[in-house]
Structure 1
Amino acid sequence: MLVVDDNKVIRQLIRVNLELEGFEVVTAADGAECLDVVHQVRPDVITLDVVMPRLDGLRTAARLRSDSRTKRLPLAIVSACTQYEVEAGLDVGVDAFLAKPFEPDELVSLVRQLVERGESDPSMQLGIRAGADTSATAPSGGTSGVVGGGGGGEGAECAGRSGS
């Protein structure tokens, strides 16, 4: 598991919540650092913030998708993103979105879904927006959901406070 966020407090919050559930977690402060460590760490899932210095989450996702070694790696945006960012994320092949602020159990559930999906069919092409809508309204008022690979991108939103 690789957690990428420029905010140290949020990075640690995500790391601790996932470690409490048994995940091994490595963190990176931005997309450039993510690309530096992803091949050493070889994570099962990557969570990305959108707004980060040097290399933002959407450009990082696009680079991961263009690399044959990481093109099928499950990617989740964890950010207070706009509808534009959701659409741009879907266009580059992001698999899931979780709005900030989020409940820890929402995060854990989303990561588990992505890990299980990757384990159940490692050859599946992620990022395809076809089939039924699998997004779910989160208790915090945001929306989280796994999309792609049979999920539904239409209607998926990453709502929350503006900014990240």
Structure 2
Amino acid sequence: MNALPTRVLVVEDDDVIRELIRLNLELEGFEVFTAVDGQDCLDRAAHIDPHVVTLDVMMPRVDGWTAAERLRADARTRDRPIILVTARTQDEDQRRGERIGVDAYLTKPFDPDVLVDVIRGLVDGSRE
């Protein structure tokens, strides 16, 4: 029996980075959906029902912090793993992510293989 592919919602306002992440994840067999900012993420998340959400922090309209908080507050998405993928490297930023309840924090630039490993680990852990 073939399992359905893992759905990942990639939220990134930089076109190049968003496409890089999308391409790398698709090559690894993930079904990838994209959003251009936090509001786009919130508008799409409940309909896509992603297994994992990757969120940039610094985005227009709704930033990644607020999007993560709203995903956690929504019964439809509260249990979905969230990975922050950001250029913000300060300890306080990582602590803020922990307070919100994000599952992983990757800093840019990042190794796409590490992102794949983190997603697989979170998905495998949530299905046990």
TM-score by length of 2: 0.91
- Residue 27 of structure 1 aligns to a residue whose secondary structure is strand
TM-score by length of 1: 0.71
CA RMSD of aligned residues (A): 0.7
Q: 2:23 aligns with which of 16, 28, 48?
A: 16
Q: Which is richer in helix?
A: 2
How far residue 76 of structure 1 moved from its aligned partner, in angstroms, is 0.3
**Which string of whole-angstrom CA distances, capped at 9 and with x for unpartnered residues, describes residues 10-34 of structure 1?**
0000000000000000000000000
Amino acid at match of 1:43: P
Amino acid at match of 1:92: I
1:108 equivalent in structure 2: 116
- Work out whether 1:99 is the aligned partner of 2:114: no
> Partners of 2:110 and 2:26 in 1: how far apart?
17
> Partners of 1:57 and 1:69 in 2: how far apart?
18
Where in structure 2 are there 5+ consecutive unaligned residues?
1-7
Amino acid at match of 1:87: R
> Partners of 2:122 and 2:10 in 1: how far apart?
14
Trace 1:107-146 onto structure 2 (pairs within 5 A): 107-120=115-128
1:89 equivalent in structure 2: 97
2:71 equivalent in structure 1: 64
| Matched positions, count | 120
Where in structure 1 are there 5+ consecutive unaligned residues?
121-164
How far residue 114 of structure 1 moved from its aligned partner, in angstroms, is 1.1
- Work out whether 1:43 is the aligned partner of 2:53: no
> Partners of 1:13 and 1:37 in 2: how far apart?
20
How far residue 87 of structure 1 moved from its aligned partner, in angstroms, is 0.9
2:35 equivalent in structure 1: 28
> Partners of 1:113 and 1:31 in 2: how far apart?
24
Amino acid at match of 1:36: D
**Which string of whole-angstrom CA distances, capped at 9 and with x for unpartnered residues, describes residues 110-155 of structure 1?**
11111111111xxxxxxxxxxxxxxxxxxxxxxxxxxxxxxxxxxx
